[in-house]
Structure 1
Amino acid sequence: MKHDPYGTGVLSKDIPEERERLELLQQALDPVSTKALAALPLGESPRCLDLASGAGSVSYWLADRFPGGTVTSADIDARYLDEDHAPNLRVHHFDMRVDDFPAESFDVIHARSVLKHIPERDEVLARMYKWLAPGGWLVIVDGYWFPSDETAHPEWSKPMDAIVRQMNSQGGDMRWTRKLPSTIARLGLTDVTVDLAPSLGGWDGWGAQGHRWIRPTIRQTGPTLVEKGYLSQEEVDRYLELPDGPDFAEWFGVIAAVSGRRP
């Protein structure tokens, strides 16, 4: 197996707080994923693949929505996934960079918050195309982080920049998502659509759109960010101690749901 900077790094599931962080991420991003998936003409019994399924929320949603279909929930570390959630759900320990599925195995493939983290993203996308049956749909949900110097709040600038630098040092590209529509169109997918949602944090007044996972991410990655010199401990502490409220409200990026169909 290839080196896995996600699984062994600052977002490893060996870190006790990672499950809570993933569940907060799901709360923020599930509405984007389910909206995109619900809009597709999938019939009653689609063969579904949920890649990098994390703590499983989209896999469970698909299994419940399509009881006549099948759902493959695949993650490089599947410890949080419950195969007993539904009889039509199967869990796979799966490294998308090296593992494979037979050609034309799925009618819909969903992948979220993963491709921007791996340098092999273009190769993986090409293999996803191969895994789709003719007429099948690809749905990629991922974020685009605004440049940190555009922040309305100086307290956000260095922590956001530090996170981007850390993820990019692991082979990621936190601004790659902007290239995604043209990338999947070049693969040959048609009917390409893009739906954008704001990444909002720092204030409960955002309601359901608020992204409460960002502060736990800074808390969890803080020791590494300090060790690498991206932030000082004082800057980490200052960010974490800021109270949520309208004075701390921040629009720090966008979430894109990009869909396309294999002809």
Structure 2
Amino acid sequence: MTRTHGYLLDNRQTEASQRFQALATLFDPTTFRHIERLGIGSGWRCWEVGAGGTSVVSWLAKKVGPTGRVVATDTDDSWAASVARPPVEVRVHDVGVDEPPGDGFDLVHARLVLSHVPDRERALRSMAGALRSGGRLLIEDADPALQSRLCPDEHGAEQQLANKLRHACDKLLAKRGADLAYGRQLPRLLREAGLRRVEAEACFAIASPACAALESVTVGQVREELVAAGLVSDQDIERHLANVTAGVMDLTTAPLVSAWGRKP
């Protein structure tokens, strides 16, 4: 990872597990609802891409049962000890570079992954190509440009500071190569990848305790880079984190766009 490229929110940082927990609270119900709608059942073969958080992998393993298979991949497998047992197979894998870890999958899923992958086009083709005929692809990614505020109701100094921090974080993400408008492109990209029956939906929580938890750990992960880049001061960050802890603001997330389709 360099200063100008690579995933900003390194999953090897100490705050990563707390961040994964907050993301699971916020987005697992949506993810599970979509996968249920796609018909997951016993014996399915699934590929979970960028599986740094284990909640989706564990849920998939229960759904496919002992006759199924869940291939969980990520560029770092330090998180895998708790799930690396049948039917789960863990592999170190870069979806934007490496060949798929097999083919004939009934389901391929990635959440909050592709917008950070340098060669997103190749990654999406790889995921679609790994499906069997009739297999389902579900891609979920954020679109900060659709809703760029941490506090949509910007009525005071605390909210203004919070939005300043959010915009600063977005600048760091963009500098690292993240596509901040990726989510809205997903329906078109799935159709261009040859999928059919493409649909999409967006969601984001407002005033959830998990939003505050996610904000605290995210700012903690990028604090040094924010200050080093001159985007905010250390005093700004201290004041913002105190405001988050005090619970005086209604925080939200960037919209999560979920898009799905089937391989002919």
The answer, yes or no, to whether TM exceeds 0.5 is: yes
Paired with 2:194 and 2:8, the residues of 1 have a C-alpha distance of: 35
SS in structure 1 opposite 2:89?
strand
Q: Which residue of 1 aligns with 2:203?
A: 197
Distance 2:20 2:205 in 1: 15
SS in 2 for 1:226: helix
The CA deviation at 1:44 is 2.4
Q: 14, 20, 45: which one pairs with 1:16?
A: 14
| d(CA) in 1 for partners of 2:57, 2:5 | 20
Quote the offset at 1:217 in angstroms. Answer: 0.2
Separation in 2 of the partners of 1:223 and 1:73? 31
Alpha-carbon offset, residue 92 of structure 1: 0.5
TM-superposed CA distance for 1:184, in Å, is: 0.7
1:183 aligned to 166, 182, 189, which one? 189
Change (3 A) 1:218 1:150: closer
For the residues of structure 2 that align with 1:83 and 1:21, how far apart are their CA atoms? Answer: 17
Q: Whole-Å Cα distance in 2 between the matches of residues 5 and 133 of structure 1?
A: 39
SS in 1 for 2:9: coil
**Scaled by the length of structure 2, what TM-score is found?**
0.87
Greater strand content: 1
Q: State the alpha-carbon separation in 2 of the partners of residues 227 and 243 from structure 1.
A: 22
Partner deviation per Cα, 1:199-235 (whole Å, 9 max, x = no partner): 43xx4xx36x746312210122111111011211121
Q: Do 1:6 and 1:12's aligned partners in 2 also have CA atoms closer than 8 Å?
A: no
* Distance change in 2, residues 1:58/1:6 (3 Å): farther
Q: Deviations over 1:4-48 (max 9, x none)?
A: 779976422332222222222222121121111111124421110
- Paired with 2:246 and 2:35, the residues of 1 have a C-alpha distance of 33
Match of 1:38 in 2: 36
Give 1:260 shift. Answer: 0.7
Partners of 1:96 and 1:222 in 2: CA distance: 28
**Unmatched 5+ residue regions in structure 2?**
none
Aligned length: 256
The answer to whether the aligner puts 1:171 opposite 2:177 as a matched pair is: yes
Once structures 1 and 2 are overlaid, which stretch shifts more, 120-129 or 146-155? Answer: 146-155
CA contact (8 A) 1:103 1:132 kept: no
When residues 23 and 6 of structure 1 are mapped into structure 2, their CA distance, relative to the original with a 3 A threshold, is farther
Match of 1:212 in 2: 213
Deviation digits for residues 126-150 of structure 1, max 9, x if unmatched? 1111111110000111112123498
Instruction: Write the distance in 1 (CA, Å) between the matches of 2:3 and 2:104.
Output: 28
Distance 1:258 1:99, change over 3 A: same
Q: How far apart, in 2, do the equivalents of 1:245 and 1:224 lie?
A: 25
Q: Cα distance 1:103–1:15, how it changes in 2: closer, same or farther (>3 A)?
A: closer
**What letter is aligned with 1:49?**
W
Aligned partners of 2:150 and 2:252 also within 8 Å = no
Does 2:53 correspond to 1:55?
yes
Aligned to 1:70: 69
Cα deviation code 1:45-81 (max 9, x no counterpart) = 1110000001211111001111021000111111111
State the 1:95 CA deviation. Answer: 0.9
> How many angstroms apart in 2 are the aligned matches of 1:9 and 1:103?
25
Q: Give unmatched runs, 5+ long, in structure 1.
A: none
**Which residue number corresponds to residue 110 of structure 1?**
109
- Once residues 25 and 65 of structure 1 are traced to their aligned partners in structure 2, the CA distance between those partners, rounded to angstroms, is 21
Instruction: Quote the Cα distance in structure 1 between the aligned partners of 2:81 and 2:33.
Output: 23
% identity of equivalent residues: 25
Counterpart for residue 236 of structure 1 = 237
SS in structure 2 of the partner of residue 119 of structure 1: coil
Asked if 2 retains the 8 angstrom alpha-carbon contact of 1:199 and 1:211, the reply is: no
Q: How does 1:243-262 map to 2 (within 5 A)?
A: 243=244, 247-262=248-263
| Greater than 6 Å deviation, 4+ residue runs | 4-8
**Between 143-152 and 110-119, the greater mean CA deviation after superposition:** 143-152
